Structure 1
Amino acid sequence: MTAPLTRAASWGRNGDRGPHSAIDDSARPQGTERPSAMTSVAMTQARHTRDRRRRMTLRGLANLMVGGLVIVLAVMAIIGTMMLNGIRDVEESWNAYDLGAATKSDALSELRSYLGAGGVVDLFHEYQVQGPRGARAEVERAVGLARANLETYRYTTTTSAEEERAITAISDTLDAVITRLPQIEAGHAANQYTHILLRDTAVDFSPTVEALRLLDGQLSRDRASLGATNRAVIDRQQRILAVGGGVAAVMLLVLAVFLVVVTHRRVLVPLARLMEESRRLARRQLDQPFVWTRRDELGQLGRTLEDSRSALAALFSAIDEKTQRLTDSEQRYAMAAAATNDGLWDWDSVRGNGYASPRLHQMLGLTDGALNSFERFLSVIHPDDVERVRQQWRDVTNDCGRNGFELEFRFRQPDGGEGWMLTRSVVQRDEQGHAIRIVGSSTDITRRKAAEQALIHQATHDYLTGLPNRAFLIDWLRAAMEGDRAERHGIALLFLDLDGFKVINDSLGHAVGDRLLIAVADRISAHLAAGEFAVRLGGDEFVVVTHGEEAALAGAERLEQALTTPFRIDEMELRTSTSIGVAIDDGLASDPVSLLRDADIALYRAKEHGRARTEVFTAALRDAILIRHRLQNDLTRAIEEREVFLLYQPIVSLADGRLTGFEALVRWRHPELGLIGPDRFIPIAEETGQILPLGRFVLEEAVRNLTRWRADTGLPLSVNVNLSARQMWDAGYVDDMLAWLRGTGCAGLKIEVTESMTMTDPDRALAILGRFHDLGIPLCMDDFGTGYSSLSYLGRFPFDVLKIDKSFVRDLAPESDRARLVRGIVNLAHDLGLDVVGEGVETDAEQALLNTLGCDYAQGYRFARPLSLEDANGWVERARPPTPAENSLQT
């Protein structure tokens, strides 16, 4: 055992050792002598203390050299800036001169042309001699153009005093020309002799000629002056470049020499010493201390080597102790491995051998020592999991970023059964990231897996029928849709719903209903083709998954027929049928829920069209359902924002054609879909309950307008308002409506109900309609003849009006069976004391025949289509009897 060297004192602030710098001989390894170099340590340190204080650190030297380089670069930058500024001044002066000189030259050239031949001089002389008509305007125009070019010359650049005198001379000449023009015109008018006129109106153009010559010479002088100035600037820049470049070159040379000398003395020599001491450290020559007195970074590195030497000496002393502790630890590990319930293993990838605990051998049914290689371990793993385990091993071995893995796989149990094992591992790597050792544990999780599988089955299967449930179907569809689009194309869903199951479940009890569902599930499963499977969504809803349109339609037909056969439950024979909606994935469905929704839409259409049938989903069907859904969402807003409104169809007396009232009809003007008829949104309102606020709006609007019409005209007009089934069977709604009518007044209001509504629950309908009758509100039976009413019930209900459905009136012909039927209905109604209204009258023949058959009133396109409120006001106004004042005016 080698004892560590002990440092008795720490380094002082300036690198000197303290007063207790001697090394403790008791801590020195046996067999070594005290190094003789230690006797000269203090003397050496004292000798270098003064030099050490005067020396700079490497960082300081680096900063100094960087500062010198910055100064050189700054000098060069200043020289470059001065050069650029000089060049820019020359360029700007030439540009300014070129622009001004070009403009002045052009202006001077134009000025000559307007003054010279064909210009002011010639035109003025011609006007003096001949005085042609319009010549004065030509002279004035030429003078104006000359003045314009003269001003352009003046204001292009700053002009000299000499140029100003020339410009003034030309301007004075032009002023003289303009001044003479009236005199010339007067002379010609007085027929004055030409030579006298020339003498009296003469203008001296010689100053103008001299001025033009002077301006031409000025341009040349300006160019010569600018050239001389720029040559002086260029000479100055050349001197700056020569002097500044020389200074910069000298500074760079000095800096380079300084860098070479300092690098050799302050870096290369100390580095050579550090390398030698590092070799001594690598050879474990730890008896000689490393003495470094320098205060720069290399000195700090040398002192770090000394610390490392001391630490290594202590480390070697501790190795033997740790070796003993490691031996004890291995013994404890062996005892723990024998006692633990997990199997332990250790693989040394460098030596290519491994260790497996007895417990791991026992778990795999192998004798001790049989598990001597990785391939032997793979031989007991389930064939379907072998490649996965092998790939995991490769990944953790080759991927430097992975420190282990956790993996579950199946293995062969000693009794021949199949078990599950959980293996965890930790990887040890070398400096290059190579796996040199992998250690892990393996746990038998067979029981836990069995419990998990049971829970998964419960979560994905229906507890009653044992079929897969909705969660299973969604997961299966999602996995299928995440694959290749071509492979998923053609997945088909058959959405089945039992017709009449609710009646059986409510009447015979849930126990019978559950047994019926089990029998239905068994029968569906028995009629599945290869590759198909069934799912129970809940209640009496099932889904069959198949592929392709042909297979889907064949399966739907097969299941329809199979489910029509009666079921035997507790000696009872139960009959049912099924409605089926089919949706086929065309590769465009966004998710499983969308495809399932499409099948549900098709099922809804099948039930809507009479049940016990199959409907295939189409894009048009989706659009229709989406529009229906949108109307459902928008209807409440439409009522609140008054997008719904009333139309009024007149009801007239067949005897004299007078207006007796209207039927209020509701319409909806959607802001995007346009005008929507009641046949589209009334059924939606009935289903969702929105018919209640909608009906209240219709009632209040109709009563308000009716009250105004009766007050304005004094006529006993009426308005018919339809009462839907949902409104009539809602006791609270009826109470509120009757209370409102009682407080508002209901004179002229008539309530219409269909005969099919009264036959749903006759006794209850009789009680409700009786409350309206007691309030004095006449009742109309609408669409008579289209339902299944009994004539005996017709006499029991307190109806006041019977409306014949338009199907009896359309194409009505004399002496036809339909005419005899209508005559019988009219006579029956009259015998019961009811008024009769014929609906849907469109022709004069239908009107005349209904009148002949004894019908009292009629409405239809023959008289008017449903009218807006404004048009209805016009009808009411025309029906109003004239006042006495109006009668007197007519008389």
Structure 2
Amino acid sequence: MLRALLSRFPLTLQVVLALMVLGGGSLGLIAAAAWWQTVGEVRQTAVRHVMSSLHASHVRVSRSWQAGVVTPSDALFAVPPPGAVADLEILIDDEGIILASSRRTWIGKSADALPGVLGLPRDILDTASALQIDEVETFTVGRLPVCRIEDGHLSRRSCLTLVYVHDTAPRWQAAVHARSQEMLVLTGTVISMSLVCWWLIGLSVTAPTTRIVEATGRFRRGDRTARCRLAGRDELAGIGRAIDDAFDEIAASEVRLRLLESAVTQTANGVVLTDIDGIVVFANAAVERMSGYRREDLVGRHVSRLRPGDLSDEASEALWSTIRRGESWNGTFRNRGRDGTVYWERVVISPVRGPDGDVTHFLAIKEDITEQVESRERQAYDETHDRMTGLANRVLAERALTEALASGGLVGIVHLDVASMGRLNEAKGYDAGNRLIGHVAEKLRRLAAATPADTDGRPLAARVGGDEFVLVVPGLTAPAEAETWAQRALAACAGDPVILEDGTTVTPTLRAGIVVAPRDGDDAATLLGEAYFAAARAKDSGGLPYRLFDRDLDRRIRHLYELETSLKKAVYRQEIEIHAQRFVAAATGDVVGAELLIRWRRPEGLVSPADFIPLAERCGAIVEITDWLMREAAATSQELNQALGRRIPLAVNVSPVEFSGTGLLERMETLLLLFPDASLEVEVTEGVFAGDKAMASDILGVLGAMGVPLAIDDFGTGYSSLSYLRDHPFTKLKIDRSFIIDAPTQPRHRNIVAATVALAHSLGLKVTAEGVETEEQAEVLRAMDVDYIQGYLFGKPQPIADFVAELRQDAEGIEGPRRQGG
């Protein structure tokens, strides 16, 4: 209680109070001791004085009495000054009569009246038989008997009483005065020493303590520069240094904490910290961005506000059970923000343990993977859907057909082929053809969507080629229903004309092929091929708009089917061969590159490219063949360039199929990384723009940005648009041989070639003339400043190994320049 009371006052005042108590107590003890000493000294002095006075008076009285009889008139004692009471001497006989006194007026009177006069007790003058000293108030009274022997007998004697009264008051006053002077000096000394002690304590204790208190107060109020900074080696200096070290560590920790908090707050991942009961104690800005909730709306509330929308109660209970056991939990789920926006997040929740090892908090790291999920969904969608029409593509059609076959029941496959697409593209351009394709796709989508959802299976509409579509119809009750679906599809597509941009109308004409599984087969790829063959028969027959698949198809259809099946394994069986046809500089005749051509050598013999290339494009084998061809070309080109010390570009024809999302760019990028010294050229025809023109343009643009030379092949044979040359990064234009053959003899052809060359050069393109077979043709082309010449005049297609060997020989000087005739 005393400590609590004292703690209300400053330390300086507490020190002053302590010094006052110490000084006062010391002075009190000293004063008591001095008083006790003074009392003893005054008493001893008074007693000695009385005793010495009594003895002196005893001698005088004894002499006087031995000499005669003492009478009241005897003047035995000296007379004191007037008014004085001290040192009174009285001689009293045995009858109580005063015989002598230092006061003459008392002689002869009875001694009984004297005590009252002197203010002494009545028995103070009684006869004494021996020396007796009494102290009464301020008087010291001594009594001494004076006796003499009568008649020489010891038994007979008479005695008088000698009384001496000494007033000690003056002595007391003098002693008190002297002691008072001493106490004043001592008090002054104590006060002076107390002040010195107070100053020393203030200097060594109060001032450092005040600095410590001030520094801690400033630090507590946020001043992180506050320090005690006490010098010395005493305990307070040590405490100050310890506090300064603690302040330094706290300030450094706060800097680290602020840095950590800033990093956590600004990190792209959401961070949520909850207590053991799930109450949010911290959430960073990323959580606000992801969920739409402000941090103020989350902190202090249960984390269930951020609970995923598709997380069941059972899953939520399992989550909490896991983390409460001290284990981490992670998962990916879809959530819904405050405004209803759906987002995906990957969450890792970890327990946070305190110093005692018990779980005190939970830390959740939330990564917004919405873009990743949507990207995967888009990628999955792009892999299974046609970009131009949004319908399923061949991959999804084959997958759906496989699932339908596995579920059992009859499945109808209707292959639809849009007729006369080539003529429409030539007459109206590829935009018109794309409009017609979009029209047919929309009709088939509506037809498939019109099927009730409670049926055994909803039909799937797919685009499997440039002008080819497929309907997969599961749940048929009879094979004849497949014909009904074909009729409905043909009627839906041909019902409304298509209005082109120039205002003209086109009515779609389609042919269909019908296959029913499992009657006609149980393999999805085979069934799709059979439906295609059936549609091809309907298209070639010119009669009925649809045909049922028949195993007694004519030999040509069977042959095509067999070719397709075998073609898919041709690369694996190493049946595909690479041939190279050189092209030379028109001015010098030097070999400057070659176009790579593929040949299919079956055990039965060579297959014409005119037969298997379209087939490979329709069945998708062209992607694998082109990939293999480009790898072989890159490896050969790098080897050849390094051997010759100069670049010999090798041109590869890329099918339009490759421009519909087959991964051409990724494969080309990989090749350029694997073979950095290779020189590859990509040749395309105008057919790349027949499908998804936007995708084709994007792919061409990226190839150009990658530094891959691009050539447009067979220029002039299709619906040639100058915008293709203007809008795409082509570096070379190849004029079709149909314009070259008659150029020496037909002025019109010659003028077309010359105009094409001039146009290409004005656009910064190199020009290659194809199909040059005579020197006359070559001379005409040289006159037109054609850059490169390709044809039998300079070399027929030959195995690429022979082409490389000849170039090596020419480089080594074994043979001179060669020129092969037709």
TM-score norm. by structure 1 comes to 0.35
Q: Which structure's residues are more often strand, by fraction?
A: 2
- Which has the higher Rg, Structure 1 or Structure 2? 2
